[in-house]
Every structure is written in structure tokens, then in C-alpha cells.
Chains A and B, each alone.
Chain A
Amino acid sequence: MTKNVNLKSVAKGGLLDRRFFLKKGFVFSVAAMASDKLLAEAKKYRQPWMEKPGDSFSNYGQPSVFEKEAIRWTMANKAAAGNGVSWTPLQNLEGTLTPNGLHFERHHNGVPQIDPKIHQLFIHGEVKKSLVFDMDSLLRYPMVSRQCFIECGGNSNAGWRDEPIQTAVGYFHGMVSCSEWTGIPLKILLNEANITPRGKWVIVEGGDASIMNVSIPLEKIMDDCFLAIYQNGERIRPENGYPLRLIAPGWEGVVNVKWLRRLHLSNRPAMSRNETSKYTELLPSGKARQFTFVMEAKSLITNPSYGHQLDKTGFYQISGLAWSGRGKIVKVEVSVDGGKNWGETELQKPVLSKSFTRFRIPWHWTGEKALLKSRAIDETGCVQPEREKLIAERGKNGYFHYNAIVSWKISNKGEISHVYA
């Protein structure tokens, strides 16, 4: 480490100016970490893989064989292999886009292999003209692309437990992912069907073995919902809804219906199982919150986080993700002393509405105990709450929509654990 850099702290505990690296062009010192093996290799002019021709071409690229840890963890019902979830390994990823093979999943009865030549989409109910579309026709419609997150309403639900769960950040908060989705604005199709004045809700149905349905207010559908056909440039993967998925930016995952096959215009919601029995939040009063579509402002530090180990004192880059279903993230603050002092982080640009926002801030760790937190604020002024405040408002038995501040405790040995603080 060069001695003459000015370690200008922005908050107590060693948080540095968020633009520190950019200003100074500071580079991590790797020499100290180099093992004997690395030193020996460095003396060679060719490493082993440079002494023979490499692998040939592949039809579909795969991650490096050295990246075996960056996978989805899966958890299925013991009596039904296709009923369960898989999590995005947030702790292994950087940037804002989730690779397609790592997008989280929630399936009720397995992944259907839908033949696009047979798949059809119906629009009916409170419309003057009932319509049915095949995939070839839909592919000719005008499309838009939009980067947005999808978060399961049940994401982070371990946060309601009395004891803080000790697991990697992805297996606690990884039922959220972010992609660039491309497809047809729904209002184009609905205008062709010509909605009657009675149409106020759209009941949306997926074409898997569960054929589940859910009701969405027409206002939202006409505002920014679209029919996605592509995810991060390629056709949507079967586990994410191939060949058609409804995207409702910023709203809970359950309304982003996969394998979309029917849109039923109606004057009221259907009161289906997934808007009554589930995806409603029981309050201490015994009443439950219903139609709580929006995923509220949230952030978490992905690096360092549980499972990482700080080996040496000195510089680290704190990095994490923030998002809000109400719009853009305007600010993310980080504290390393449990919330007494906060430093403003650098937001990776462009900051997009209802999308992942990557935040970063450099930190000088002195080897003392630390308590890391991040706090997101969105453009509507919503501030991510402390856990205590969230529980005071909602109790502990709501299950869905947990968005409290996440705290990582760092011991003086550099071990990281999840705490409520």
C-alpha cells in the first residue's frame, strides 16, 4: 500500500469517500497475498494451459470450471420434486444483471416444456372482441426492452424468525433477480381487444400443471406491464416462463405470471388462492393485508457478507444491491458501526427505475469488530426500515414482504455472521 494516499473518512469506522478509488486511481495491493505457488508460477513464461491448444468451440457457452460455487441452491418438497424454490447466489455475482441460468425460481408443480407451435394466448371477458394469439403472430408485434428486477413476495422471509439465520446472502435474500426483458406492451394487445368500461381487473393465468391464476388491476397492466418473450437477449428459459411471461415491473413475483396463456378482463378480482390464502400478510390484530403488490425499497451488502472471510486488514470494497418497486433508488448509505454513522455510497450508473442498482464504497478495515449495514432510499422518499420498526408495524407472522435493513457482524478475526442489531 502506498503511504502517501490521504485516507479521507466519510464516516467513522474507516468508510472512505465513495469516489476514493476513482479519484486516486488506487489499486489493491496483491503482492502481500501472493503465495509461494503464485511466485513460482510467475517465474514461468507459459502456464500449463498455454503449452497446448485450448478447447474447441461450443454451441452454448458454460461458466469456467473454476466457478462451481456460483449455482442456484434448490429446495423442493419431499413429496413433489417440482414444488419449491431455487435461489440466485447473490454472494457470487457483481453488476446488476442476473445470468439466465441463475435467475431464481418458484414453481408450484414443475417446469413445463411448452411447444411454442402449440402455445396460445387468450384475451377475453370484458372486451368487445375476444382474441387468441399464436407465438408466430406475437413475434411480429412491436416490442420494448426494459431492465427490471423480479422479487418473490416471500423473499427474505427468514428475517421474521426470532434467531438470525446463518446462511449465504443468496440463500436468505436470493429470491430476487434482475434481467433485461423484451416483449410487447400489453396495452397494444388489449386495445385491439377493445376493453369495455366495466373492465377493471385482469385475471392472469399460467399454462403449467398448476394452471394458477392471479388478479392484477387494469391500471397497472395499461401502465407498464408487458408480455416478455426474451430475457437478456435470448428466448426466455423454460423455468422463467417460456415462451411468454407477464412482466409487472416492481410488483411481487407472483403476478409476473410465467407460461402465460390467458388474460381475463373482469370488473373485480377472482379472489384466487394466491391472493387470499397466500401472498397476504397477517397482522398482529388478526387482520391481513391483501393486494400488497409493490416490493418496497430494499438493499443488502453482498460483499463482504456471510461466508466471506476478511483475511487481512486494509482495503476492502463494500458492494451491494438496492432496488425499489416504486421507482429509482436515489441513495444508499452504509454504516460499519451498526448505524451510528452513515456514509453515502457510489451508485453505479445508469440508475434505472424498478431495477437492481449496484452500490459500492471503499472501506479501510483496521481489524476491529465491525457491524455493517446498508440503507436504501427511493425517489418517492421511502426509506428501508430497521427490522425493529418493520416488526413494530407488521408483527412477525406476515411472512411476505420483508424488506428490513440487513446487518453483518465482523469479528476481530474477520469472520462474518448475520445479526439483528
Chain B
Amino acid sequence: MSMREFIFFFCFCVSCNLLAVENQPNLGRDASKGVIKQWNLDIFSDGKGLPSGQGTAHKGKKVYERYCLSCHGVDGSGDSADELAGAMHSLTDNPPDKTIGTYWPYATTIFDFTRRSMPLDAPGILNNNQLYAVTAYLLYLNGIIKRDKVIDSSSLPKVKMPNRKGFINIYQQEKEND
């Protein structure tokens, strides 16, 4: 490569580089798999994202009474916070009775939301076994599972929720009509 060619090549590369930087700031760092695993709390309805551990309604009753009852009432009947169980009437009554048992389409959402946000006054305090147990207890209170049924990452997504087919995807409907 002659000197002139070299200078041309050098300038060409520098300008390419400048262009690339201008279009893509590329200031993000690579996120390691380990850190993402720690941060990623998302649980899907097929069970993807559920951690290890297990529990039964029997054990969950104690967790509920200690950490949840003060706001959600006896047997999930509701108090300062939402009613979670024990619906007295249906979704077509006026007013309707929306509980986990009558309304929630997926059982995995109970575990996911409780792990993220509950108990409201001490979020993050429950371990995985306690989370599975209190999830089982809420399903039991809603008459969906038996008291001694073991709830874990494989059984929870298989729980059949009564209102599983109760939702219309409006976003998709509008897209199809477009």
C-alpha cells in the first residue's frame, strides 16, 4: 500500500467509524445472563419464569394470616384491599363479583403479582415456598384446588381457571378489522 493509498484508506475508515457512532450511539453495556436472571421477574401463563419451590393451601393459610389478612380480610373476603375470594354472585350480576375465582384467567398471575408487590407493607419478604403456599391457599379459598394439592412450577400453570376463556383481545380484533 502506497502512502497515498494508506492515507485514503485511513481517512475512509475514520469517516466510516464516525458515521457508525453517529447513527448508533451504542452506549449500552452487555448485560450478563446472571444479572438478567436475577432481575427478570416475569412469569408467563405457561409457567415460564416460575422458580423452584412448592407449597400447599394447608401451609399457605398460615402465610395468609400472618402477611395478608390485615388488608384482604378473613378468607380473602376483602377489607382495605381487594376481595380475593368468596364471590357471592357472578360476573353477569349487577354489580358483578370479580375475584380470583370468578375473573382471573391464569393462576400464574397470582404468584407473579404476589412476588412483585405483596404484602404491600413489606414487599419481597416471602420466600418461594411461602409464595407457592399462599398462591395455593388463594386457589383453595376460591374452590379451585384441594387443600393438600402441591403447587409448584409444573402444577401451577396446569390449574384450570374458571374464567380462562372470559377475555376478548380488542387490540388484535382492531388490527384484523383494519
Contact = CB atoms under 8 A, between A and B. Distances in A.
A268 B44 contact: yes
Contact of B171 (A131, A141, A192, A292): A292
Given A142-B25, A277-B103, A213 B168 contact: no
B112 A272 contact: yes
Given A210-B117, A276-B106, A396-B94, A140 B167 contact: no
A213 B28 contact: no
A79 B105 CA distance: 28
B30 interface: yes
B32 to A, nearest CB: 8
B81 A79 contact: yes
A144 interface: no
A280 B166 CA distance: 11
A411 B172 CA distance: 46
A270 B172 contact: no
Given A109-B120, A213-B42, A290 B167 contact: yes
Interface stretch (B6-14, B33-41, B59-67, B139-147): B33-41
Nearest to B84: A277
Contacts of A284: 92
Contact of B172 (A276, A286, A291): A291
A80 interface: yes
B27 interface: yes
Interface stretch (A8-16, A121-129, A310-318): A121-129
Q: Contact residue range for chain A? A: 35 or more
Given A132-B35, A271-B105, A264 B40 contact: yes
Interface string B110-131: 0011001100110100000000
B159 interface: no
A262 B40 contact: yes
B29 interface: yes
A211 interface: yes
B117 A109 contact: yes
Contact of A286 (B30, B90, B105): B90
A131 B41 contact: no
A352 interface: no
B109 interface: yes
Interface in A203-232: 203, 205, 209-213, 217
A293 B41 CA distance: 23
Interface string A256-297: 000001101010101111001100101011111111110000
Interface of B: 24-31, 33, 35-36, 39-45, 70-71, 79-81, 90-92, 94-96, 98, 100, 103-106, 108-109, 112-113, 116-117, 120-121, 123, 166-172
Top 8 nearest A-B pairs (CB, nearest first) are A131-B28, A79-B80, A137-B27, A291-B171, A273-B113, A130-B31, A132-B31, A290-B167
9 contacts: A80-B120, A130-B33, A132-B28, A132-B30, A188-B25, A270-B45, A271-B108, A276-B105, A289-B168
Interface of A: 77-80, 83, 108-109, 122-124, 129-134, 137-138, 140-142, 188-189, 191-193, 203, 205, 209-213, 217, 261-262, 264, 266, 268, 270-273, 276-277, 280, 282, 284-293, 396-397
